[in-house]
Structure 1
């Protein structure tokens, strides 16, 4: 006797990695992210094309910093095609909401080799800019550099958030 029916779809290595990355993001677990990274992973900054983070250790440390400043991370169903995958998420940073899209490329083993993040709206990105780079700078270059970066970044975030409140009334 045979039973006919549809076989359950087999998840690709990229799809499995995305699902695990999504879960790690929601739980703020940088160690779980580390398990998904290739040794030569590259993380491109969402804030500038002039900066990227290379290597499993550095990208893991960056995720510790990211998870320290983001609150209430909620991810949306991931999408994987071939070696590339994406999912979006919502979060709050210093009380300001942001939306982001993670775009990753994986190797044959499903390890992440390239990571890009795109963030909107501008007030959310600006607030993240005021929160994250000072923390990363302090970790990488010392507390004084972190304070200097914060001194430059915080006024920019304030101006962008203020403009966002008033500009729509004039459009």
Structure 2
């Protein structure tokens, strides 16, 4: 039997990632990420997470705040793969698109996530950074991050309910 091609290895990695995400199992992702993986935040271009250990720890935080995560079938083009997923964060429905770039060894070297709609992104922004800040820095940093993001989440959820009535 011939050895799997890079495309077959990447396909298997994406399938493993999707299954682990649906189970909320960040530890199952460890071998999928290259040692120098970069995760681009969906919330700001000012922050990326770098390195396998940090990206796996970030996924533990992500899976702790997302509920009912369901993925879609992936799409691929060369070394790039993508799939969408839906979930809820604090009861707010969220849709996201995951863009992955692989190295020749079929490890993820770059992971970028795009989130919609704005109220879901704002709720994620008010929920995830406090957890990450507490893990990476301190409980005080986490509390401050949460307090700074909370008004934005409230404003965007309120605007989402009211603005469409004016359109």
Q: TM-score, normalised by structure 2?
A: 0.95
**Offset of 1:19 from its aligned partner?**
1.0
> Which residue does 2:115 correspond to in 1?
119
Q: Structure 2 residue aligned with 1:145, among 141, 145, 155?
A: 141
Gaps of 5+ in 2: none
The separation in 1 between residues aligned to 2:60 and 2:25, in whole angstroms, is 8
Please report how far the alpha carbon of residue 138 of structure 1 lies from its aligned counterpart in structure 2 after TM superposition: 0.7
- Within the candidate set 60, 66, 82, 1:64 is matched to 60
RMSD: 1.0
Corresponding residue number in structure 1 for 2:158: 162
Alpha-carbon contact 1:105-1:112 (below 8 Å) kept: yes
Q: Write the distance in 1 (CA, Å) between the matches of 2:85 and 2:40.
A: 17
Q: Write the mapping of 1:1-171 to structure 2, written as runs, cut at 5 A.
A: 12-171=8-167
> Matched residues in 1 for 2:109 and 2:135: separation?
23
Are 1:130 and 1:150, in contact at CA under 8 Å, matched by a contact in 2? yes
Shift of 1:109: 1.4
Once superposed, which parts of structure 1, at least 4 consecutive aligned residues long, lie more than 3 Å away? Answer: none
Unaligned runs of 5+ in 1: 1-9
Q: How many correspondences in the alignment?
A: 162
TM-score for both structures, normalised by structure 1: 0.92
